[in-house]
Structure 1
Amino acid sequence: MSFPSETANQTYQAILEALNHLIEVVAKLRSPDGGCPWDLAQTPETLIPYVIEEAYEVVHAIKSEDPQAIAEELGDLLLQVVLQAQIASDQGHFSLKEVAEGITEKLIRRHPHVFGDLEVTDAEEVRQNWEKIKAEEKGETPEMPQLLSRQLNRYHRTLPPLMASSKISVKAAAAGFEWENVTGVWDKFTEELEEFKQALETEDTTHQQAELGDLLFTIINIARWYGLDASAALQGTNERFIQRLSKMEGFADRPLTEYTLDQLETLWQQAKKQLNH
């Protein structure tokens, strides 16, 4: 067995000191004696939006390929982990120690080809072993993880709705829940659109929500048929909208709320033309 070099040990020590400092700062923020009122008011539930937001900020930073931005956003996400653990510790449930020990043990257990004697040939075999070990941990038989409903429910529980729908669509199609050709998908879209319109006119909000969901799911299926990423498409639209709005504000000589709808349309077209999209 090889041992870490002196330089590596110094690096580990510096990392541990930085993490300890962060833990101490968060503990102080949560302290009833001189802590921060906002941090003291937080619960695991109130912090959920921040966990999601910070995770997306990390993704955005990674896509920007800016190391400084990535490091900063990873720090914000790490804060959410430490803060959740601190709140749990305050409530007597668990601490960051249990969080770190749990994930470490899981990594060792699910990598027997690294920490044990198992031999593998490629990444696909690693993935298969991972899924097998994961199933055994949950007391499942080899057949149980293959149940389509279990796979789809995992996407539903753990992913943002748009991403989950895309995953569900792909898995369901692979299992045979698929149209014979793209014409069938477009027919389904027309059907769902009409049902949504009817619901808006005659049904209650619950039914309207259901029909809207059906329509959105069909659009995601259309995207899949044409090899398009629904999440990326919507993200691109959001970015273009904001860019055009920013241009409009640059053209305007007063707040946009003081313009008529026709005037806003003129500014919108100017912005669209200048941005060339």
Structure 2
Amino acid sequence: MTKFASHANQKILTALERLIDIVAKLRSPLGGCPWDLAQTQESLIPYIIEEAYEAVDAIYSQNQAEIAEELGDLLLQVVLQAQIAQENEYFTLEDIAEGISEKLIRRHPHVFGDVEVASEEEVHHNWEKIKQEEKQKTHALLSEKLKTYVRSLPPLMATLKISKQAAKAGFEWENVEGVWDKFQEELKEFQEAIIKGDLQHAETELGDLLFTVVNLGRWYGIDPTVALQGTNNRFIQRLSLMEQKCDRPLQEYSLTELEVLWQSAKKQLSIDE
């Protein structure tokens, strides 16, 4: 390691130590912040999810200053969780760092060991194989593993993870036509539940329909979260163009007028692209 690199690393460690000390002070019963003191591992869950999504949004925007800020907010959540865990003698930030370091070493035998790889695909294959071997030691049943996705991930992401793992275990359609058949089946059952006015049953069928749509995306290599995020962004862009052309609130326009404005905005965005 060069003298410059060593100096840079020391500056990083100093900055991290400052953040750790600040969080510890915020959590101190003697002069700390009442809000921070009231937090628990569970109460901070929404903030972890929110900060992760905001970091992703910043990365998509490619605003580097915003990315740095959002990653800082995400880092705060890690340090805060570690502080709470340390207070309860569960684990420490050191345990977190050591744990991920050992995992990285285990899963990169081509870097830290004598394994040779010829491509990125081979690296990914080895990673998944090692990961599976690790998980088998702690998750004997597939259902137990899938439960962790439901508990820890947003529904769309969890569904994709669940369907991928189920497929690896053999719980899979023979071809994509079978998935399309399942989609038509679930759509019909959802429509029937709506017609009957049984909203509780309709909710169940809508869930089945969405699960199948995610599986369709998986078969075609399309990430449903990315797809839906794109749709959300396009909707907002079209709505923004509509509002620019309006001389009164949207709710004062008829449905026919709104459709004309919508199609105009859609066409304009298509031309701009």
Please state which band the TM-score falls in when normalised by the shorter chain: 0.7 to 0.9
Pairing of 1:224-263 with structure 2 (within 5 A): 224-263=218-257
The C-alpha deviation readout for 1:217-246, integer Å capped at 9, x for no partner, is: 222233344454332221111001111222
Aligned residues: 268
Where in structure 1 do 4 or more consecutive aligned residues deviate above 6 Å?
none
Opposite residue 51 of structure 1, the aligned amino acid is: I
Which structure 2 residues correspond to residues 59-98 of structure 1 after superposition, within 5 A? Answer: 59-98=56-95
| Superposed counterparts of 1:153-232, under 5 Å | 155-156=149-150, 158-170=152-164, 172-173=166-167, 175=170, 177-180=172-175, 182=177, 184-200=178-194, 201-203=196-198, 205=200, 207-232=201-226
Contact 1:185-1:218 at 8 Å conserved across structures: yes
Equivalent-residue separation in structure 1 for 2:29 and 2:144 (angstroms):
43
Q: Which residue pairs with 2:19 in the alignment? A: 22
2:116 aligned to 114, 120, 126, which one?
A: 120
Distance in 1, matches of 2:160 and 2:131, equals 24
Provide the residue aligned with 2:3 in structure 1.
6
- The normalised TM-score by structure 1 is 0.78
Residues 24, 83 of structure 2: 8 Å contact kept: yes
Conserved? CA contact 1:172–1:178, under 8 Å: no
Structure 1 residue 216: Cα displacement? 1.0
Tell me the C-alpha RMSD between the 2 structures.
Answer: 3.4
Give the TM-score taking structure 2 as reference length.
0.79
> Is the contact between residue 193 and residue 215 of structure 1 (CA under 8 Å) also seen in structure 2?
yes
Change (3 A) 1:150 1:95: closer
One-letter code of the match for 1:162? L
Contact 1:30–1:40 (CA<8 Å) still a contact in 2? yes
Q: For 1:44, what is the secondary structure of its paired residue?
A: coil
Where structure 1 has 5 or more consecutive residues not aligned to the other structure, the ranges are none
Q: 1:120–1:126: 8 Å Cα contact kept in structure 2?
A: no
Matched, 1:50 2:47: yes
CA gap of 1:139–1:187, structure 2 versus 1, over 3 A, is closer
CA distance in 2, matches of 1:78, 1:35: 20
